[in-house]
Amino acid sequence: MGTSEERVVAVIMVGGPTKGTRFRPLSLNIPKPLFPLAGQPMVHHPISACKTIPNLAQIYLVGFYEEREFALYVSSISNELRVPVRYLREDKPHGSAGGLYNFRDLIMEDNPSHIVLLNCDVCCSFPLPGMLEAHRRYGGMGTILVIKVSPESANQFGELVADPVTNELLHYTEKPETFVSDRINCGAYIFTPDIFTAIQGVSSQRKDRATLRRLSSFEALQPPNRSPPSDFVRLDQDILSPLAGKKQLYVYETMDFWEQIKTPGMSLKCSALYLAQFRFTSPHLLASSDGRKNATICGDVYIHPSAKVHPTAKIGPNVSISANARIGAGVRLISCIILDDVEIKENAVVIHAIVGWKSSIGRWSRVQAAGDYNAKLGVTILGESVTVEDEVVVINSIILPNKTLNVSVQEEIIL
């Protein structure tokens, strides 16, 4: 029975530094959750989605990064959105469910009726109000956001089978070898506080089994116990799979976009998805070419208010320009992310690329890629403070920070 006193606490898992090497070279300079997509840090998008939930009491960001990496962001976003956002550091890996359990006292401090759990590196419309309403109707312990994908790609994710009428979760399996279902786990959940009891149940079960092993002398001769410590609980294998079919878990399907943001190439694709979403949710954030004073804008483009763009430049579609960037005369930008303090000189062309902070792109130079978001060299990436000299061409390449290119390169990684 919903009351007006019902509070919701949101938890966003942001991950940590040494695990995510797939986001290099961008992650060499910034924690992945703070990398900007459509002009806002990656974690900002799930945070904004949480803000659409009525009675949101608190947002916790949980991860392995040092506190100081998130201190500035957390304080500024708390002020901006007028909701308390706090970063909590996990001291050691507890698994995706164990991490939630680890901070249960803090989470339950506000006595929430519901807990929203989101993954930061998921690009999604996060339809949380609708999902919360559905969760209340179902009356279960948890509701999982799911999306339909192509059968060929489904096995990269957690595959779910649900009852088409009641939406109850009947079966869940993580990255199966054979085809189970084309509905997959989006990495967004709503739980009631019973989830903590369920996680604790898994922990104690493990402890009991471990104790049992020690009593059996036969087991003692076996090679060292490889199962994880008792407080390491994974959401997928340890909670969702076992509880499927027990009338505790339900699904809520989204028809919007969904992607995982694992590589720099994907961040370019997801930036475009969020820019397209802005057209519906926050059109005032997008740039438009009004009158001769401004540059020509095509499609969805974000330009930070402090960036300077010459009126003869043509920008877009799918371009995001960050703070203090300077775009010179006659520049053409298509499908790219231009980070803070970048200078792009006259008549340069940038297509399917990410240009790192403080980099400099010379006159008539060309920085481009084929635009295959999944290929290793499908999006050209320039790290922090890279200089591309005049008239140089950089194609399908990754350039690490502080390099100067005075000759053209193609299909190369430059350390």
Partner 1 sequence: MKALILVGGFGTRLRPLTLSVPKPLVDFANKPMILHQIEALKAIGVTEVVLAINYQPEVMLNFLKDFEKKLGIKITCSQETEPLGTAGPLALARDKLIDDSGEPFFVLNSDVISEYPLKQMIEFHKSHGGEASIMVTKVDEPSKYGVVVMEESTGQVERFVEKPKLFVGNKINAGIYLLDPSVLDRIELRPTSIEKEVFPNIAAEKKLFAMVLPGFWMDIGQPKDYITGLRLYLDSLKKKSSPKLASGPHIIGNVLVDESAKIGEGCLIGPDVAIGPGCVVESGVRLSRCTVMRGVRIKKHSCISSSIIGWHSTVGQWARVENMTILGEDVHVGDEIYSNGGVVLPHKEIKSSILKPEIVM
The smaller minimum CB distance to partner 1, of residues 310 and 403, is found at: 403
Judged by CB under 8 A, does residue 407 bind partner 1?
A: no
- 141 in Cβ contact with 248 (< 8 Å): yes
- 155: Cβ–Cβ under 8 A, 6 or more apart, which residues? 175, 176, 177, 179
Closest approach, Cβ 415 to partner 1, in A, equals 4
4, 21, 178, 217: which one contacts partner 1 (CB under 8 A)? 21
Closest approach, Cβ 89 to partner 1, in A, equals 18
Q: Is the peptide bond before 317 cis (omega within 30 degrees of 0)?
A: yes
- 392 in Cβ contact with 362 (< 8 Å): yes
Scored b (16 or more CB within 10 A) or e, 282-320 reads eeebbbebeeeebbebebbbbbbeebebeeebbbbebbb
Which amino acid would we find at residue 10? A
51, 234, 326, 403: which one contacts partner 1 (CB under 8 A)? 403
Closest approach, Cβ 381 to partner 1, in A, equals 10
Part of the chain binding partner 1 (CB under 8 A), chosen from 121-129, 286-294, 318-326, 400-408: 400-408
The smaller minimum CB distance to partner 1, of residues 125 and 263, is found at: 263
- Pick the closest to residue 60 from 36, 39, 77, 41 (CA basis): 77
C-alpha to C-alpha distances, 48 to 282, 283, 339, 382, nearest whole angstrom: 11, 15, 21, 29
Interface positions, 356-375, toward partner 1 (CB under 8 A)? none
The smaller minimum CB distance to partner 1, of residues 25 and 112, is found at: 25
Interface positions, 139-168, toward partner 1 (CB under 8 A)? none
63, 99, 140, 401: which one contacts partner 1 (CB under 8 A)? 401
83, 88, 285, 400: which one contacts partner 1 (CB under 8 A)? 400
Closest approach, Cβ 17 to partner 1, in A, equals 8
Residue 153: burial class (beta carbons within 10 Å; 0-12, 13-18, 19+): exposed
Judged by CB under 8 A, does residue 319 bind partner 1?
A: no
Judged by CB under 8 A, does residue 31 bind partner 1?
A: no
Scored b (16 or more CB within 10 A) or e, 1-38 reads eeeeebebbbbbbbbbeeebeebbbbbeebbbbbbbbb
DSSP state of 111: -
Q: Which residue has the tokens 């969020």?
A: 274
Judged by CB under 8 A, does residue 4 bind partner 1?
A: no
The smaller minimum CB distance to partner 1, of residues 18 and 150, is found at: 18
Judged by CB under 8 A, does residue 108 bind partner 1?
A: no
- How many residues of this chain interact with partner 1, rule: CB under 8 A? 12
Judged by CB under 8 A, does residue 415 bind partner 1?
A: yes
Judged by CB under 8 A, does residue 25 bind partner 1?
A: yes
Residues engaged in binding partner 1 (CB under 8 A): 18, 21, 24-25, 28, 398, 400-403, 413, 415
